[in-house]
A and B are shown apart, each in its own frame.
Chain A
Protein backbone atom coordinates (compact mmCIF):
# COMPACT_ATOMS: atom_id res chain seq x y z
CA UNK A 1 0.00 0.00 0.00
CA UNK A 2 2.71 2.44 1.04
CA UNK A 3 4.88 1.38 -1.88
CA UNK A 4 2.00 1.96 -4.28
CA UNK A 5 1.37 5.39 -2.82
CA UNK A 6 5.05 6.38 -3.12
CA UNK A 7 5.13 5.07 -6.68
CA UNK A 8 1.98 7.05 -7.52
CA UNK A 9 3.45 10.18 -5.92
CA UNK A 10 6.75 9.87 -7.83
CA UNK A 11 5.06 8.89 -11.11
CA UNK A 12 5.32 5.52 -12.84
CA UNK A 13 6.01 4.80 -16.50
CA UNK A 14 4.96 1.51 -18.03
CA UNK A 15 7.26 0.94 -20.98
CA UNK A 16 8.10 -1.66 -23.56
CA UNK A 17 11.62 -2.53 -24.62
CA UNK A 18 11.83 -4.25 -27.98
CA UNK A 19 14.98 -5.88 -29.31
CA UNK A 20 16.99 -9.08 -29.57
CA UNK A 21 18.65 -9.10 -26.12
CA UNK A 22 16.17 -8.42 -23.32
CA UNK A 23 18.11 -10.59 -20.82
CA UNK A 24 21.27 -8.62 -21.42
CA UNK A 25 19.37 -5.39 -21.07
CA UNK A 26 17.95 -6.55 -17.72
CA UNK A 27 21.37 -7.69 -16.49
CA UNK A 28 22.90 -4.30 -17.27
CA UNK A 29 20.08 -2.59 -15.40
CA UNK A 30 20.57 -4.87 -12.39
CA UNK A 31 24.30 -4.31 -12.39
CA UNK A 32 23.85 -0.53 -12.53
CA UNK A 33 21.34 -0.63 -9.69
CA UNK A 34 18.45 0.58 -11.85
CA UNK A 35 15.24 -0.80 -10.47
CA UNK A 36 12.40 -1.92 -12.71
CA UNK A 37 9.48 -4.16 -11.78
CA UNK A 38 6.60 -6.16 -13.25
CA UNK A 39 8.91 -7.37 -16.03
CA UNK A 40 6.84 -9.40 -18.52
CA UNK A 41 8.11 -11.11 -21.62
CA UNK A 42 6.46 -10.25 -24.91
CA UNK A 43 7.10 -11.61 -28.36
CA UNK A 44 9.52 -8.87 -29.30
CA UNK A 45 10.98 -7.97 -25.94
CA UNK A 46 9.71 -7.05 -22.51
CA UNK A 47 7.28 -4.69 -20.79
CA UNK A 48 8.10 -3.32 -17.35
CA UNK A 49 7.43 -0.42 -14.97
CA UNK A 50 9.85 2.22 -13.72
CA UNK A 51 9.71 5.57 -12.02
CA UNK A 52 10.07 8.72 -14.13
CA UNK A 53 13.61 9.35 -12.94
CA UNK A 54 14.63 5.73 -13.51
CA UNK A 55 13.15 5.69 -17.00
CA UNK A 56 15.51 8.42 -18.12
CA UNK A 57 18.49 6.35 -17.00
CA UNK A 58 17.35 3.32 -19.03
CA UNK A 59 18.44 4.82 -22.35
CA UNK A 60 22.23 4.07 -22.17
CA UNK A 61 21.54 0.43 -21.35
CA UNK A 62 18.93 0.23 -24.11
CA UNK A 63 21.33 1.75 -26.61
CA UNK A 64 24.04 -0.70 -25.62
CA UNK A 65 21.78 -3.73 -26.13
CA UNK A 66 19.97 -2.39 -29.25
CA UNK A 67 16.62 -2.21 -27.45
CA UNK A 68 13.98 0.34 -28.43
CA UNK A 69 12.12 1.92 -25.53
CA UNK A 70 8.56 3.09 -25.86
CA UNK A 71 6.27 4.54 -23.20
CA UNK A 72 2.98 2.68 -23.02
CA UNK A 73 1.32 4.27 -20.02
CA UNK A 74 1.94 7.13 -17.63
CA UNK A 75 0.56 6.86 -14.11
CA UNK A 76 0.96 9.16 -11.11
CA UNK A 77 0.69 12.56 -9.57
CA UNK A 78 3.33 14.36 -11.71
CA UNK A 79 1.35 13.47 -14.87
CA UNK A 80 -1.92 14.75 -13.33
CA UNK A 81 -0.20 18.00 -12.42
CA UNK A 82 1.22 18.25 -15.93
CA UNK A 83 -2.22 17.65 -17.48
CA UNK A 84 -3.74 20.56 -15.53
CA UNK A 85 -0.72 22.84 -15.53
CA UNK A 86 -2.50 25.63 -17.46
CA UNK A 87 -5.52 25.64 -15.17
CA UNK A 88 -4.47 28.17 -12.57
CA UNK A 89 -7.84 28.15 -10.89
CA UNK A 90 -7.25 24.71 -9.40
CA UNK A 91 -4.07 25.52 -7.41
CA UNK A 92 -5.43 28.94 -6.48
CA UNK A 93 -8.67 27.29 -5.29
CA UNK A 94 -6.71 24.69 -3.35
CA UNK A 95 -4.58 27.36 -1.68
CA UNK A 96 -7.67 29.44 -0.88
CA UNK A 97 -9.37 26.36 0.56
CA UNK A 98 -6.42 25.57 2.82
CA UNK A 99 -6.17 29.23 3.81
CA UNK A 100 -9.89 29.46 4.59
CA UNK A 101 -9.82 26.29 6.67
CA UNK A 102 -6.77 27.56 8.52
CA UNK A 103 -8.34 30.98 9.14
CA UNK A 104 -11.54 29.35 10.38
CA UNK A 105 -9.63 27.28 12.90
CA UNK A 106 -7.78 30.17 14.50
CA UNK A 107 -10.91 32.05 15.59
CA UNK A 108 -13.51 31.25 18.24
CA UNK A 109 -16.74 30.48 16.41
CA UNK A 110 -19.12 30.40 19.32
CA UNK A 111 -19.30 30.18 23.08
CA UNK A 112 -21.69 27.46 24.25
CA UNK A 113 -22.87 27.05 27.81
CA UNK A 114 -23.51 23.56 29.17
CA UNK A 115 -25.63 24.41 32.12
CA UNK A 116 -28.06 22.53 34.33
CA UNK A 117 -28.11 25.11 37.08
CA UNK A 118 -30.66 27.71 38.05
CA UNK A 119 -28.37 30.42 36.66
CA UNK A 120 -29.54 31.42 33.19
CA UNK A 121 -27.31 30.84 30.17
CA UNK A 122 -27.50 34.52 29.32
CA UNK A 123 -26.00 35.52 32.67
CA UNK A 124 -23.08 33.13 32.21
CA UNK A 125 -22.56 34.28 28.62
CA UNK A 126 -22.63 37.92 29.70
CA UNK A 127 -20.00 37.19 32.35
CA UNK A 128 -17.91 35.31 29.78
CA UNK A 129 -18.14 38.18 27.28
CA UNK A 130 -17.16 40.71 29.92
CA UNK A 131 -14.16 38.49 30.77
CA UNK A 132 -13.03 38.78 27.17
CA UNK A 133 -14.23 35.37 25.96
CA UNK A 134 -16.40 36.08 22.93
CA UNK A 135 -16.94 34.80 19.39
CA UNK A 136 -14.51 36.20 16.86
CA UNK A 137 -11.49 36.38 19.15
CA UNK A 138 -8.31 34.47 18.41
CA UNK A 139 -8.27 31.00 19.94
CA UNK A 140 -4.66 31.48 20.96
CA UNK A 141 -5.62 34.49 23.08
CA UNK A 142 -8.16 32.55 25.17
CA UNK A 143 -6.90 32.16 28.73
CA UNK A 144 -9.17 29.47 30.20
CA UNK A 145 -7.90 29.65 33.77
CA UNK A 146 -8.16 33.44 33.98
CA UNK A 147 -11.63 33.35 32.42
CA UNK A 148 -12.79 30.66 34.84
CA UNK A 149 -11.59 32.65 37.85
CA UNK A 150 -13.18 35.80 36.48
CA UNK A 151 -16.58 34.20 35.85
CA UNK A 152 -16.54 32.45 39.23
CA UNK A 153 -15.92 35.81 40.86
CA UNK A 154 -18.83 37.39 38.98
CA UNK A 155 -21.37 34.61 39.62
CA UNK A 156 -21.17 33.41 43.22
CA UNK A 157 -23.87 30.77 42.64
CA UNK A 158 -21.38 28.65 40.71
CA UNK A 159 -19.27 26.07 42.49
CA UNK A 160 -17.23 24.89 39.53
CA UNK A 161 -16.56 26.04 35.99
CA UNK A 162 -14.53 24.70 33.11
CA UNK A 163 -13.74 26.56 29.89
CA UNK A 164 -12.98 23.88 27.30
CA UNK A 165 -10.93 25.18 24.41
CA UNK A 166 -10.60 21.94 22.46
CA UNK A 167 -12.22 23.26 19.30
CA UNK A 168 -13.40 26.46 17.69
CA UNK A 169 -16.61 26.15 19.73
CA UNK A 170 -15.63 27.05 23.27
CA UNK A 171 -17.68 25.17 25.82
CA UNK A 172 -18.31 26.63 29.23
CA UNK A 173 -19.42 23.90 31.62
CA UNK A 174 -20.76 25.00 34.98
CA UNK A 175 -21.96 23.46 38.23
CA UNK A 176 -24.12 25.13 40.79
CA UNK A 177 -23.08 25.81 44.33
CA UNK A 178 -25.35 24.12 46.84
CA UNK A 179 -25.51 26.43 49.81
CA UNK A 180 -26.01 24.61 53.09
CA UNK A 181 -29.30 25.74 54.62
CA UNK A 182 -29.11 27.55 57.91
CA UNK A 183 -30.77 25.36 60.48
CA UNK A 184 -30.30 24.68 64.10
CA UNK A 185 -28.74 21.35 64.92
CA UNK A 186 -30.44 18.92 67.25
CA UNK A 187 -27.87 19.69 69.93
CA UNK A 188 -28.29 23.47 69.65
CA UNK A 189 -30.17 24.96 72.58
CA UNK A 190 -33.20 26.96 71.50
CA UNK A 191 -36.63 28.25 72.47
CA UNK A 192 -39.88 28.22 70.54
CA UNK A 193 -41.38 31.66 69.94
CA UNK A 194 -44.58 32.92 68.32
CA UNK A 195 -44.35 34.06 64.71
CA UNK A 196 -47.74 35.80 64.70
CA UNK A 197 -50.44 37.03 67.03
CA UNK A 198 -53.06 34.40 67.68
CA UNK A 199 -55.01 32.19 70.05
CA UNK A 200 -53.53 28.76 70.71
CA UNK A 201 -55.71 25.79 69.72
CA UNK A 202 -53.47 22.77 70.15
CA UNK A 203 -49.91 22.12 71.21
CA UNK A 204 -47.65 19.21 70.33
CA UNK A 205 -44.43 19.81 72.28
CA UNK A 206 -41.75 17.12 71.94
CA UNK A 207 -39.01 18.80 73.95
CA UNK A 208 -38.82 21.84 76.23
CA UNK A 209 -40.90 23.46 78.91
CA UNK A 210 -44.23 24.79 77.72
CA UNK A 211 -45.05 28.27 79.01
CA UNK A 212 -48.49 28.63 77.41
CA UNK A 213 -51.53 26.39 77.11
CA UNK A 214 -54.38 25.95 74.60
CA UNK A 215 -56.80 28.84 74.79
CA UNK A 216 -54.10 31.39 75.61
CA UNK A 217 -53.69 34.44 73.39
CA UNK A 218 -50.13 35.21 72.31
CA UNK A 219 -48.46 38.08 70.49
CA UNK A 220 -45.75 37.81 67.86
CA UNK A 221 -42.37 37.23 69.57
CA UNK A 222 -43.81 35.75 72.77
CA UNK A 223 -41.97 32.81 74.30
CA UNK A 224 -44.02 29.65 73.84
CA UNK A 225 -41.70 26.84 74.86
CA UNK A 226 -38.48 27.33 76.82
CA UNK A 227 -35.29 25.38 76.17
CA UNK A 228 -34.17 25.89 79.78
CA UNK A 229 -35.79 23.45 82.20
CA UNK A 230 -35.50 23.59 86.00
CA UNK A 231 -34.77 20.27 87.64
CA UNK A 232 -35.60 18.87 91.07
CA UNK A 233 -32.13 19.61 92.48
CA UNK A 234 -32.55 23.33 91.86
CA UNK A 235 -30.32 23.38 88.79
CA UNK A 236 -31.24 23.85 85.14
CA UNK A 237 -31.11 21.62 82.09
CA UNK A 238 -30.89 23.07 78.57
CA UNK A 239 -32.55 21.38 75.59
CA UNK A 240 -33.38 21.94 71.96
CA UNK A 241 -37.07 22.85 72.22
CA UNK A 242 -39.18 21.67 69.36
CA UNK A 243 -42.79 20.94 68.56
CA UNK A 244 -45.88 22.43 66.93
CA UNK A 245 -48.13 25.17 68.30
CA UNK A 246 -51.32 25.48 66.24
CA UNK A 247 -53.14 28.75 66.69
CA UNK A 248 -56.02 30.73 65.22
CA UNK A 249 -54.51 33.73 63.48
CA UNK A 250 -55.81 36.74 61.64
CA UNK A 251 -53.96 38.00 58.57
CA UNK A 252 -54.88 41.08 56.61
CA UNK A 253 -53.96 41.74 53.01
CA UNK A 254 -54.99 44.45 50.59
CA UNK A 255 -54.61 45.35 46.94
CA UNK A 256 -55.23 48.68 45.21
CA UNK A 257 -56.09 49.31 41.56
CA UNK A 258 -56.14 52.68 39.78
CA UNK A 259 -59.41 52.89 37.90
CA UNK A 260 -58.15 55.68 35.62
CA UNK A 261 -54.74 56.27 34.06
CA UNK A 262 -52.49 55.82 31.05
CA UNK A 263 -50.80 52.68 29.85
CA UNK A 264 -47.88 52.16 27.44
CA UNK A 265 -49.18 49.81 24.77
CA UNK A 266 -47.67 48.23 21.63
CA UNK A 267 -49.41 49.07 18.34
CA UNK A 268 -49.67 46.91 15.23
CA UNK A 269 -47.11 49.03 13.39
CA UNK A 270 -43.55 47.71 13.41
CA UNK A 271 -40.39 48.00 11.32
CA UNK A 272 -37.71 45.38 10.80
CA UNK A 273 -33.99 45.91 10.25
CA UNK A 274 -31.62 43.13 9.20
CA UNK A 275 -27.95 42.80 10.07
CA UNK A 276 -25.38 40.22 9.04
CA UNK A 277 -23.66 38.68 12.06
CA UNK A 278 -20.13 37.36 11.66
CA UNK A 279 -18.14 36.17 14.68
CA UNK A 280 -20.49 38.02 17.00
CA UNK A 281 -20.16 41.35 15.15
CA UNK A 282 -23.20 42.78 13.41
CA UNK A 283 -22.86 44.38 9.99
CA UNK A 284 -25.90 46.54 9.21
CA UNK A 285 -27.72 45.69 6.01
CA UNK A 286 -29.82 48.87 6.07
CA UNK A 287 -29.19 52.56 5.49
CA UNK A 288 -32.23 53.95 7.34
CA UNK A 289 -31.84 55.34 10.81
CA UNK A 290 -33.49 53.68 13.74
CA UNK A 291 -37.09 54.91 14.26
CA UNK A 292 -37.51 58.10 16.25
CA UNK A 293 -40.91 57.21 17.71
CA UNK A 294 -41.36 55.43 21.02
CA UNK A 295 -40.76 51.75 20.46
CA UNK A 296 -40.03 48.39 21.97
CA UNK A 297 -37.05 46.78 20.26
CA UNK A 298 -36.88 42.98 19.98
CA UNK A 299 -33.74 41.39 18.58
CA UNK A 300 -33.41 37.86 17.29
CA UNK A 301 -30.36 36.19 15.74
CA UNK A 302 -30.82 33.25 13.38
CA UNK A 303 -27.50 31.38 13.09
CA UNK A 304 -26.64 29.11 10.18
CA UNK A 305 -26.50 25.44 11.19
CA UNK A 306 -24.44 22.96 9.20
CA UNK A 307 -25.16 19.32 10.11
CA UNK A 308 -26.08 20.36 13.65
CA UNK A 309 -23.04 22.61 14.07
CA UNK A 310 -23.78 26.27 14.60
CA UNK A 311 -21.62 28.41 12.34
CA UNK A 312 -20.45 31.84 13.52
CA UNK A 313 -22.56 33.64 10.93
CA UNK A 314 -26.22 34.50 10.86
CA UNK A 315 -28.87 37.14 10.36
CA UNK A 316 -29.99 39.43 13.16
CA UNK A 317 -33.55 40.73 12.89
CA UNK A 318 -34.35 43.82 14.94
CA UNK A 319 -38.03 44.58 15.22
CA UNK A 320 -39.05 48.05 16.34
CA UNK A 321 -42.65 47.88 17.56
CA UNK A 322 -44.28 51.30 17.85
CA UNK A 323 -45.73 52.02 21.27
CA UNK A 324 -48.18 54.66 22.44
CA UNK A 325 -49.68 55.78 25.69
CA UNK A 326 -53.31 54.73 25.89
CA UNK A 327 -55.64 56.05 28.56
CA UNK A 328 -57.77 53.45 30.26
CA UNK A 329 -60.72 53.42 32.59
CA UNK A 330 -61.91 50.45 34.61
CA UNK A 331 -65.29 49.94 36.17
CA UNK A 332 -65.43 48.94 39.81
CA UNK A 333 -66.23 45.37 38.83
CA UNK A 334 -63.17 45.22 36.59
CA UNK A 335 -61.09 46.79 39.36
CA UNK A 336 -62.39 44.19 41.78
CA UNK A 337 -61.40 41.32 39.46
CA UNK A 338 -57.88 42.70 39.01
CA UNK A 339 -57.43 43.27 42.75
CA UNK A 340 -58.82 39.80 43.50
CA UNK A 341 -56.40 38.05 41.16
CA UNK A 342 -53.48 39.97 42.71
CA UNK A 343 -54.59 39.05 46.22
CA UNK A 344 -54.96 35.40 45.33
CA UNK A 345 -51.38 35.31 44.06
CA UNK A 346 -50.26 36.95 47.30
CA UNK A 347 -52.33 34.50 49.37
CA UNK A 348 -50.72 31.52 47.63
CA UNK A 349 -47.28 32.93 48.40
CA UNK A 350 -47.79 34.01 52.02
CA UNK A 351 -50.36 31.58 53.38
CA UNK A 352 -49.27 28.42 51.62
CA UNK A 353 -48.93 26.31 54.81
CA UNK A 354 -51.96 27.64 56.63
CA UNK A 355 -55.50 26.30 56.71
CA UNK A 356 -57.86 29.17 55.83
CA UNK A 357 -60.94 28.81 57.98
CA UNK A 358 -62.79 31.93 56.91
CA UNK A 359 -62.30 35.17 55.01
CA UNK A 360 -63.84 38.63 55.14
CA UNK A 361 -63.75 41.17 52.35
CA UNK A 362 -64.03 44.93 52.40
CA UNK A 363 -63.99 47.16 49.33
CA UNK A 364 -63.54 50.92 49.11
CA UNK A 365 -63.34 53.28 46.17
CA UNK A 366 -61.90 56.75 46.76
CA UNK A 367 -60.46 59.26 44.28
CA UNK A 368 -60.37 56.74 41.44
CA UNK A 369 -58.48 54.14 43.51
CA UNK A 370 -60.20 50.85 44.19
CA UNK A 371 -59.04 48.99 47.31
CA UNK A 372 -59.81 45.40 48.19
CA UNK A 373 -59.03 44.40 51.75
CA UNK A 374 -59.25 40.79 52.80
CA UNK A 375 -59.03 39.35 56.28
CA UNK A 376 -58.00 35.71 56.55
CA UNK A 377 -58.91 33.66 59.60
CA UNK A 378 -56.40 30.85 59.61
CA UNK A 379 -55.25 27.92 61.66
CA UNK A 380 -51.49 27.47 61.42
CA UNK A 381 -48.28 26.56 63.23
CA UNK A 382 -46.94 29.77 64.72
CA UNK A 383 -43.89 28.33 66.52
CA UNK A 384 -40.39 29.03 65.28
CA UNK A 385 -37.04 28.04 66.75
CA UNK A 386 -34.73 30.74 68.10
CA UNK A 387 -31.30 29.88 69.46
CA UNK A 388 -30.51 30.97 73.00
CA UNK A 389 -27.52 33.28 73.00
CA UNK A 390 -25.63 32.66 76.25
CA UNK A 391 -22.92 35.15 75.39
Chain B
Protein backbone atom coordinates (compact mmCIF):
# COMPACT_ATOMS: atom_id res chain seq x y z
CA UNK B 1 0.00 0.00 0.00
CA UNK B 2 1.43 3.34 -1.06
CA UNK B 3 1.23 6.22 1.34
CA UNK B 4 0.50 9.60 -0.28
CA UNK B 5 1.72 13.02 0.80
CA UNK B 6 -1.65 14.01 2.28
CA UNK B 7 -1.48 11.07 4.66
CA UNK B 8 -4.10 8.91 2.90
CA UNK B 9 -3.33 5.33 2.00
CA UNK B 10 -4.27 3.86 -1.38
CA UNK B 11 -5.64 0.39 -0.87
CA UNK B 12 -5.59 -0.42 -4.58
CA UNK B 13 -9.32 -0.23 -5.22
CA UNK B 14 -9.24 3.52 -5.72
CA UNK B 15 -10.81 4.44 -2.37
CA UNK B 16 -8.42 6.43 -0.15
CA UNK B 17 -8.42 5.45 3.51
CA UNK B 18 -7.30 8.11 6.02
CA UNK B 19 -4.23 7.29 8.06
CA UNK B 20 -5.34 7.85 11.63
CA UNK B 21 -1.93 7.09 13.09
CA UNK B 22 -0.31 10.26 11.83
CA UNK B 23 -3.28 12.60 11.40
CA UNK B 24 -5.62 14.04 13.97
CA UNK B 25 -9.29 13.10 13.74
CA UNK B 26 -11.62 16.02 14.40
CA UNK B 27 -15.33 15.39 14.75
CA UNK B 28 -17.98 18.09 15.20
CA UNK B 29 -21.41 17.64 16.71
CA UNK B 30 -23.15 20.75 15.37
CA UNK B 31 -21.40 23.80 16.67
CA UNK B 32 -21.78 22.75 20.31
CA UNK B 33 -19.24 19.98 20.65
CA UNK B 34 -16.02 18.94 18.99
CA UNK B 35 -13.90 15.90 19.69
CA UNK B 36 -10.24 15.96 18.76
CA UNK B 37 -8.44 12.65 18.57
CA UNK B 38 -4.69 12.72 18.24
CA UNK B 39 -4.26 15.84 20.34
CA UNK B 40 -0.67 16.23 21.52
CA UNK B 41 -1.14 19.10 23.96
CA UNK B 42 -2.83 22.38 24.83
CA UNK B 43 -1.24 25.54 23.57
CA UNK B 44 -3.84 28.09 24.58
CA UNK B 45 -6.85 27.69 26.80
CA UNK B 46 -9.50 30.33 27.30
CA UNK B 47 -13.27 30.65 27.24
CA UNK B 48 -13.06 32.26 23.80
CA UNK B 49 -10.05 30.49 22.27
CA UNK B 50 -8.77 26.96 22.63
CA UNK B 51 -5.69 26.02 20.65
CA UNK B 52 -4.52 22.43 20.50
CA UNK B 53 -1.31 20.89 19.23
CA UNK B 54 -2.12 18.08 16.81
CA UNK B 55 1.40 17.20 15.62
CA UNK B 56 2.66 18.93 12.48
CA UNK B 57 0.33 21.87 13.02
CA UNK B 58 -2.12 23.19 15.52
CA UNK B 59 -5.86 23.76 15.45
CA UNK B 60 -7.58 26.78 16.94
CA UNK B 61 -11.24 26.89 17.96
CA UNK B 62 -12.89 30.26 18.49
CA UNK B 63 -16.19 30.76 20.25
CA UNK B 64 -17.79 31.63 23.57
CA UNK B 65 -18.23 29.79 26.87
CA UNK B 66 -15.93 27.05 25.71
CA UNK B 67 -14.47 24.50 28.06
CA UNK B 68 -12.96 21.04 27.93
CA UNK B 69 -15.40 18.46 29.09
CA UNK B 70 -12.92 15.65 28.93
CA UNK B 71 -9.22 15.36 28.24
CA UNK B 72 -6.63 12.61 28.12
CA UNK B 73 -3.17 12.44 26.60
CA UNK B 74 -4.57 11.88 23.06
CA UNK B 75 -8.17 12.94 23.21
CA UNK B 76 -10.02 16.16 24.02
CA UNK B 77 -13.68 17.12 23.94
CA UNK B 78 -14.53 20.81 23.73
CA UNK B 79 -17.99 22.10 24.59
CA UNK B 80 -19.37 25.59 23.94
CA UNK B 81 -20.56 27.87 21.16
CA UNK B 82 -17.97 27.20 18.48
CA UNK B 83 -17.81 29.88 15.82
CA UNK B 84 -14.79 28.84 13.80
CA UNK B 85 -11.89 26.46 13.44
CA UNK B 86 -8.51 27.44 12.10
CA UNK B 87 -5.46 25.41 11.22
CA UNK B 88 -2.19 27.06 12.15
CA UNK B 89 1.30 25.92 11.33
Q: Which of B43, B45, B69 makes the CB contact (< 8 A) with A41?
A: B45
Report whether over half of chain B's contact residues are helix, strand or loop; otherwise say mixed: strand
Q: Is B27 an interface residue (CB 8 A)?
A: no
- Tell me if B73 and A37 are in contact (CB < 8 A): no
Please give, as numbers and ranges, the residues of chain B lying within 8 Å of A22 by CB-CB distance: 45
Interface residues as binary, A15-42 with B (CB distance below 8 Å gives 1, 0 otherwise): 0000000110011011101011111110
- Tell me if A37 and B45 are in contact (CB < 8 A): no
- Tell me if A23 and B70 are in contact (CB < 8 A): no
Closest CB-CB distance, A23 to chain B, in whole Å?
A: 5
Interface residues in B11-62 by Cβ distance below 8 A to A read: 41-47
Please give, as numbers and ranges, the residues of chain A lying within 8 Å of B72 by CB-CB distance: 30, 33, 35
The docked-state distance in angstroms from the alpha carbon of A33 to that of B44 is 20
Q: Is B71 an interface residue (CB 8 A)?
A: yes
- Tell me if A37 and B70 are in contact (CB < 8 A): yes
The docked-state distance in angstroms from the alpha carbon of A39 to that of B52 is 14
Scoring A26, A29, A39 by chain B CB atoms within 10 A of each residue's CB, the highest score goes to A39
The docked-state distance in angstroms from the alpha carbon of A60 to that of B67 is 24
Closest CB-CB distance, A54 to chain B, in whole Å?
A: 12
Closest CB-CB distance, A284 to chain B, in whole Å?
A: 68
Q: Is B9 an interface residue (CB 8 A)?
A: no
- Tell me if B67 and A40 are in contact (CB < 8 A): yes
- Say whether, besides A31-B73, A33-B72, A41 and B41 are in contact (CB < 8 Å): no
Q: Is A192 an interface residue (CB 8 A)?
A: no
Interface residues as binary, B49-89 with A (CB distance below 8 Å gives 1, 0 otherwise): 00000000000000000011111110000000000000000
How many B residues touch the partner, as a band? 10 to 19
Q: Is A247 an interface residue (CB 8 A)?
A: no
Closest CB-CB distance, A49 to chain B, in whole Å?
A: 10
The docked-state distance in angstroms from the alpha carbon of A38 to that of B46 is 13
The docked-state distance in angstroms from the alpha carbon of A23 to that of B67 is 12
- Tell me if A30 and B41 are in contact (CB < 8 A): yes
The docked-state distance in angstroms from the alpha carbon of A31 to that of B73 is 5
Q: Is A46 an interface residue (CB 8 A)?
A: yes
In the complex, the chain A residue whose C-beta lies closest to that of B70 is A37
In the complex, the chain B residue whose C-beta lies closest to that of A38 is B69
- Tell me if A33 and B73 are in contact (CB < 8 A): yes
Please give, as numbers and ranges, the residues of chain B lying within 8 Å of A26 by CB-CB distance: 42, 45, 68, 71
In the complex, the chain A residue whose C-beta lies closest to that of B46 is A41
The docked-state distance in angstroms from the alpha carbon of A39 to that of B67 is 6
Please give, as numbers and ranges, the residues of chain A lying within 8 Å of B68 by CB-CB distance: 26, 37, 39
Please give, as numbers and ranges, the residues of chain A lying within 8 Å of B67 by CB-CB distance: 38-41
The docked-state distance in angstroms from the alpha carbon of A40 to that of B71 is 12
- Tell me if B42 and A23 are in contact (CB < 8 A): yes
Please give, as numbers and ranges, the residues of chain B lying within 8 Å of A40 by CB-CB distance: 47, 67
- Tell me if B42 and A41 are in contact (CB < 8 A): no
- Tell me if A27 and B47 are in contact (CB < 8 A): no
Please give, as numbers and ranges, the residues of chain A lying within 8 Å of B73 by CB-CB distance: 30-31, 33
The docked-state distance in angstroms from the alpha carbon of A33 to that of B75 is 11
Closest CB-CB distance, B40 to chain A, in whole Å?
A: 9
- Tell me if A27 and B69 are in contact (CB < 8 A): no
Please give, as numbers and ranges, the residues of chain B lying within 8 Å of A30 by CB-CB distance: 41-42, 71-73
Closest CB-CB distance, B55 to chain A, in whole Å?
A: 14
In the complex, the chain B residue whose C-beta lies closest to that of A30 is B73
Q: Which of B41, B44, B71 makes the CB contact (< 8 A) with A39?
A: B71
The docked-state distance in angstroms from the alpha carbon of A22 to that of B70 is 15
**Can you spell out 21 A-B residue pairs with CB atoms less than 8 angstroms apart?**
A23-B43, A23-B45, A26-B45, A26-B68, A26-B71, A29-B71, A30-B73, A31-B41, A31-B73, A35-B72, A37-B68, A37-B69, A38-B67, A38-B69, A39-B69, A39-B71, A40-B47, A40-B67, A41-B45, A41-B46, A46-B45
Interface residues of B (CB under 8 A from A): 41-47, 67-73
Interface residues of A (CB under 8 A from B): 22-23, 26-27, 29-31, 33, 35-41, 46
Given contacts A31-B41, A37-B68, 17 further A-B contacts (CB under 8 A): A22-B45, A23-B42, A26-B71, A27-B41, A29-B71, A30-B42, A30-B71, A30-B73, A33-B72, A35-B71, A37-B70, A39-B67, A39-B68, A39-B69, A39-B71, A40-B47, A41-B46
- Leading 8 A-B pairs by shortest Cβ distance: A39-B68, A40-B67, A30-B73, A27-B41, A23-B42, A23-B45, A41-B47, A37-B70
